[in-house]
């Protein structure tokens, strides 16, 4: 282990090799940036839901029209 507490590779001859890697989740990001990322990551799910809702209502309308025309 090094001073940062992260492991380094030891090749047996020259000692530790390479610099310690810092984890991405340790980075500090502004709250507004995290909110924007969360919004855009949820956007495709919302768009898919809206398109599916429109498609389902259109299909229901068409099937209802066909059903009512068969009854007459």
Residue with tokens 């919004």: 39
Averaged pLDDT, 49-66: 95
Question: Which of 12-16, 37-41, 53-57, 67-71 has the highest average model confidence (pLDDT)?
Answer: 53-57
Name the burial class of residue 52, with classes exposed (0-12), middle (13-18) and buried (19+) by CB atoms within 10 angstroms of its CB: exposed
Beta bridge partners of 17: 9
Is 60 exceeded by the pLDDT of residue 6? no
């Amino acid at each position: 282990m090094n001073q940062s507490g992260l492991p380094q590779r030891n090749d047996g001859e020259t000692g530790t090799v390479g610099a310690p890697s810092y984890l991405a989740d340790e980075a500090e990001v502004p709250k507004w940036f995290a909110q924007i990322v969360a919004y855009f990551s949820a956007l495709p799910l919302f768009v898919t839901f809206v398109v599916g809702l429109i498609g389902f209502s259109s299909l229901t309308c068409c099937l209802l029209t066909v059903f009512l025309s068969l009854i007459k």
